Amino acid sequence: MHAKSPENQSGGRPAWFEAGLPHIWLPYAQMKIAGDPLPVVATQGSRIVLADGRELIDGIASWWAACHGYNHPHIAAAVRHQLEVMPHVMFGGLAHEPALALARRLAALMPAGLDRVFFSDSGSVAVEVAMKMAVQYWGNKGVAGRTRFVAFNGGYHGDTTGAMAVSDPVDGMHHAFGGLLPRHLFCDLPRDEESFANLSDVIECHAGEIAGIIVEPLVQGAGGMQFHDVDVLERLRALADRHRILLIFDEIFTGFGRTGAMFASAAVAPDIVTLSKALTGGTLPLAATIARRAVFDAFWSDAPSHALMHGPTYMANPLACAAANASLDLFECEPRLSEVAAIAAALQQRLAPCRGMPRVRDVRVRGAIGAVEVDRIDNIYTLRRRFVAEGVFVRPFGTTVYLTPAFTIAPEELATLTDAVVTVVSEMK
C-alpha cells in the first residue's frame, strides 16, 4: 500500500501538521519530553502510512479496537450506506433499526438473561453507566447504603471520575486524583486461597455497603496485560451470590475474541457487562452496557424516579451501530476466532526467545495478546521511537512490551512485529 505524499511538506511534515500541532493536547503523554506524534495519512489492513511515505506495521490495532484491520470494505460499505440514510438522530423518544438490531444481536451473544442493552459512546462511560445501574438497583429495591464497589489492584476501567475511582489507586495512572475520588474497596484478585480469604473477609465486613464487584475478566489490560484464569471469575461469582452483590465484567478490552473466546462472559455469567473498543471493529466510537433482566426489572416502575437518568447526546449513533452490525457480520462469516488461535500459537513461538534475557521477568500469551514484561523501562518515549525505527508501531507502557494486533494480520507482518520485539528487548542493558 502506498499513499501519495501530501503537498507543502517540510522535512516530511505536512503543512496541516505544522499548523495544527501547536493547538493540540495529546493523550497519555508528557508533551515536553515525548517528542512529536507521527503524522498519519492512511491506514489499510495492519499498516499505518506516514506522511513521509513510510509504512509501519501496527502492533496494537489502535488500542486493541481494529480487530478486523483497518478499512475493512464490509464495514466501510455499511457506514457509507448509513451516512446517506441517517447519520444521526437522538435516542430519547426515538429509535432506529441499526440500534435495535444491534441490541438484539448483542443480547443473543450473551449468557441467558443478559438481554437489556444501554448504548453510550466510550468505554469509560459504559463503566459509569454500569456503576450507576448497580447503585440505583439497590436504591430502587429500597435497600439504602449500597454505594461502594469492590475493585482490584492492577485494574483499569477508564479515565472518567467514576471509572478512575475503581481503577488501581496506587500503581494506576490516576493517583493524582486521589483527593477527588470516592473511596472503594481494593483487593488482590483471588488467585489463591490466601487472596480469596482476604477478599471474602473484606466483603463480609462491608457487605451492607457494597453495590457490586467490578473486574476485567481474564486479562487486566492497562494494568500490564496481567492474566488470570476462569476459576478467579468463578470465585467472584460465588462471593457475589453469597452476599447478594452484583457482578460487573468490564469486557471493553477482552470482548470480541481478543482472549480466544468471543467473550469471557461465556465461561461465567455476570450481572452487567460493558463493551466497547472492538464493538465497531475500530471504526467509530460506541459502547454498550448490558444488564441482566433482574437488574432492568428494578428500574421498571410507575415511579419516574426509578428511571435510569443517563443519556449521552450521541447514544446509539446510527453510523456507529451500522459499523457494529457489520463487524458482527464479519465474526459470523469470517474465521476470526481461528485467526486468533493462529496468532496465539505464533506469539508463543516467536516471543519465546525473550525468555531468559537478562531484563525479562515474564513472557505470556493469551489469545491475540502477547506480553513481554521487563524489570524496568528507563525512557518509554525512547523505547517507542526504537520500535518505529524497526518499522513497527508498538507502544510499551509501565514495564510491559505488548502486542495486540488485528486478527487479520498477515503471518509475515506478525513475524515482523515479533522480530522487532525480540530485537529491541535484547538490546536492553
**Residue 197: which residues within 8 A CB-CB, separation 6 or more?**
none
Catalytic residue (choose from 58, 250, 314, 402): 250
Nearest in space to 4 (alpha carbons), one of 40, 39, 41, 37: 41
The Cα 289–Cα 266 span in angstroms is 16
Q: Is the dihedral of CA 226, 131, 171, 402 positive or negative?
A: positive
Query: What are the E-state strand segments in 257-304?
Result: 272-275, 287-292
CA R_g for the chain:
22
Catalytic residue (choose from 70, 156, 314, 402): 156
Is-catalytic flag, 156? yes
The Cα 137–Cα 296 span in angstroms is 8
**Which residue reads 503543512 in cell numbers?**
15
- Complete DSSP assignment for 100-132: HHHHHHHHHHSPTTEEEEEEESSHHHHHHHHHH
Is-catalytic flag, 250? yes
- Complete DSSP assignment for 296-365: HHTT-SS-GGGS-----TTTT-HHHHHHHHHHHHHHHHS-HHHHHHHHHHHHHHHHGGGTT-TTEEEEEE
One-letter amino acid for residue 174 of the chain: H
Catalytic residue (choose from 70, 137, 168, 277): 277
Phi and psi based region of residue 50 (left: phi greater than 0; alpha: psi -120 to 50; beta: remaining):
beta
Cβ pair 392, 420 in contact under 8 A: yes
The residues that are catalytic are 28, 156, 250, 277
